[in-house]
Amino acid sequence: MDFPAQKSDTSQRPASSAAALVSHADKPLAPLQTALDALRRGESRVAAFSALAQAQSAVLAALPPRYATVLMQLLTSLESSALFTEESCSFSQVDLLDKLQMWLDKAAAELEKA
């Protein structure tokens, strides 16, 4: 049985990372990218994304230590933002998701250098 090709929805993602969709399945950060995309679409919960991100010990070990520090700070803020039903000036979930995308983009570039 053939299934129709599924279109990727990049409208919710920053333009800089849209090109990364072409082939991120073979990248070590692919599970996080997929989970972040699902979180943006409302198909996942913050707690699930945070648990997945914290479980990426091999990826974090391959990056400079500052990447783990920044990721944990972003996850803490994201988890705090989930406590609010509306956007708060201190905990804008949209801004935090954008920062997580930036982290993923920079981490991917760092891993490619290695």
In this model, does residue 105 exceed pLDDT 60?
A: yes
Flag whether 14 is in a domain. no
Is residue 23 one of the residues assigned to a domain?
Answer: no
pLDDT over 70 at 21, yes or no: no
Residue 92 resides in a domain: yes
- Domain housing 62: 28-113
In this predicted structure, the answer to whether residue 50 has a pLDDT above a threshold of 60 is yes
Does residue 4 form part of some domain?
no
CA distance 30 to 35: 8
Q: State the total domains in the chain.
A: 1
Q: What would the two tokens of residue 62 be? A: 């391959």
pTM of the predicted model, to two decimals?
Answer: 0.73
* Residue 70 belongs to a domain: yes
- Is position 75 within any domain? yes
Domain contains 9: no
Distance CA 96, CA 8 (A): 22
Q: How confident is the model at residue 114 (pLDDT cuts 50, 70, 90)?
A: confident
Lowest mean pLDDT among 40-44, 90-94, 102-106: 90-94
Residue 20, domain member (yes or no) = no
